């Protein structure tokens, strides 16, 4: 756990919490929530969900892997376990299987998995996949719906490289086949799905260094186990699941918590028209600003909020007087003391579709 300070400026602090909910066909819901603020109310922290719900759909995952089939991944760890010797016998077009082994692989900053993906021919291991390949591969390793494999796309054995070379070079592409077209989710086993959801939750903050025992990690581990057990014991099959939702709440506080003025110039332009006009012209400016707030836009990303979302909304319940106050705030250097937002992803298994949006709270 680490306190994330790169987006906290001056007297501001921020907090991200994650709520995961599974709803069955009978309307029963099972939830897990991790909120750094519960443990560190003065600083909060960053909790996130490192998976794409759409990739839990079998057809969508196969399509995504096939779409990336031409991407070549250079294998790593070639200096270990006799891999250089084995690569001498490998040819372009050879197929190799993927095997999960103990270890840690960094996928990106703040996103890692507790295993390494070994690439093996019939002669043995020829290397491990780089972290960049696991964006898709991590979805196929623990389910019974997808058969994934690698194909050698280029290879240069150590014997054919220069005298100064220490290792061979080899790259692979990844392909996949749907083993059971009738299966909607990549997971048939409920416990496997529940564990995947829990493994996809990560946090980045540290305990106080005051000599007191830190309970966060143990508490979170127990809560995750409780979620897995409750879902597994109450839902017989993933066919009985209606929805899976991820709700990520953002809250910032302090003098520099408001990110909107720096990231939505169009909104600020509407605000300038509101405060610089009067009479009928102001009335029209207010109507235009309200209409803009009500519509979705992909261009409202904050410094740490809303990234990757194409549907970005504003939550606003204020009247005309409140809108005038909002316009004045947006056009001044006075920032709000609090700032909130939500990122929401919901997988509807009846529709076999994912609804995703991010929402800034302007109230």
pLDDT at 10: 42
Give the strand pairing for 124-128 and 111-121: antiparallel
Domain hosting 114: range is: 58-178
Do 167 and 104 sit in the same domain of this protein?
A: yes
Measured distance CA(292)–CA(263) in Å, rounded = 15
The strand pairing partners of 241, in sequence order, are 24
The answer to whether residue 303 sits within a structural domain is: no
Residue 216 located in a structural domain: yes
Query: Does some domain include residue 305?
Result: no
Question: Same domain for 77 and 108?
Answer: yes
DSSP letters spanning 25-41:
TTS-EEEEEE-GGGT-T
Does one domain contain both 5 and 76?
Answer: no
Verify that 329 and 343 share a domain, yes or no. no
The rounded distance, in Å, linking the Cα atoms of 86 and 124 is 7
In a domain, 309, yes or no: no
Question: Is residue 304 in a domain?
Answer: no
- Judge if 102 and 204 occupy the same domain: no
CA–CA distances in Å: residue 189 to residues 60, 128, 156: 19, 27, 41
158 and 201 part of one domain: no
- CATH number for the domain including 75? 3.30.70.2330
Report d(CA 234, CA 295) in Å as an integer: 40
Domain count, the chain: 3
Q: What is the pTM of this model?
A: 0.82
Same domain membership, residue 217 and residue 340: yes
Instruction: Give the pLDDT of the chain (363 residues) as one tens digit per residue.
Output: 223 333 333 446 788 999 999 999 999 999 999 998 888 887 788 898 989 999 999 999 999 988 887 889 999 999 888 999 999 999 999 999 999 999 988 887 667 788 999 999 988 999 999 999 988 888 888 777 888 889 999 999 999 988 888 999 999 999 988 888 888 899 989 999 999 999 999 887 665 555 566 678 888 999 999 999 999 999 999 999 999 999 999 888 776 665 665 578 888 899 999 999 999 999 999 999 999 999 998 877 776 777 788 898 999 998 999 999 989 888 876 555 567 889 999 999 999 999 999 998 888
| Cβ neighbours, 10 Å, residue 286 | 18
Residue 253, in any domain of the structure: yes
């Amino acid at each position: 756990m680490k306190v994330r300070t790169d987006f906290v400026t001056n007297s501001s602090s921020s907090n991200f919490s994650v709520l995961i909910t599974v709803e069955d066909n009978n309307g029963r819901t099972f939830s897990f929530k991790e909120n750094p603020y519960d443990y560190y109310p003065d600083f909060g922290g960053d909790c996130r969900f490192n998976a794409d719900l759409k990739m839990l759909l079998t057809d969508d995952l196969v399509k995504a892997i096939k779409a990336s089939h031409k991407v070549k991944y250079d294998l790593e760890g070639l200096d270990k376990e006799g891999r250089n010797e084995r690569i001498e016998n490998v040819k372009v077009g050879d197929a190799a299987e993927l095997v999960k082994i103990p270890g840690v692989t960094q996928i990106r900053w703040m996103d890692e998995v507790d295993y390494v993906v070994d690439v093996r021919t019939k002669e043995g291991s020829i290397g491990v996949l780089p972290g960049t390949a696991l964006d898709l591969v991590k979805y196929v390793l623990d389910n019974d719906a997808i058969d994934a494999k690698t194909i050698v796309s280029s290879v240069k054995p150590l014997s054919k490289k220069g005298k100064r070379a220490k290792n061979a070079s080899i790259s692979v592409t990844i392909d996949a086949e749907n083993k059971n077209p009738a299966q909607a989710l990549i997971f048939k086993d409920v416990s496997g799905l529940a564990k995947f959801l829990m493994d996809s939750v990560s946090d980045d903050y540290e305990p106080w260094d005051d000599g007191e025992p830190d309970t966060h990690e143990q508490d979170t581990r127990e809560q995750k186990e409780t979620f897995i057990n409750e879902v597994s014991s109450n839902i017989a099959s993933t066919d009985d699941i209606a929805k899976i939702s991820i709700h990520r709440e953002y809250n910032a506080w302090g003098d520099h918590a408001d990110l909107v003025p720096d990231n939505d110039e169009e909104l600020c332009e509407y605000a300038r028209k509101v405060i610089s006009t009067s009479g009928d012209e102001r009335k029209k400016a207010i109507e235009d600003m309200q209409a803009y707030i009500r519509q979705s836009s992909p261009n409202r990303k904050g410094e740490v909020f809303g990234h990757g979302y194409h549907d970005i909304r504003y939550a606003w319940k204020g009247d005309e007087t409140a809108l005038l106050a909002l316009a004045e705030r947006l056009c001044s250097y006075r920032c709000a003391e609090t700032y909130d937002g939500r990122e929401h992803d919901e997988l509807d298994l009846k529709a076999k579709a994912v609804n995703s949006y991010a929402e800034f709270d302007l109230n």
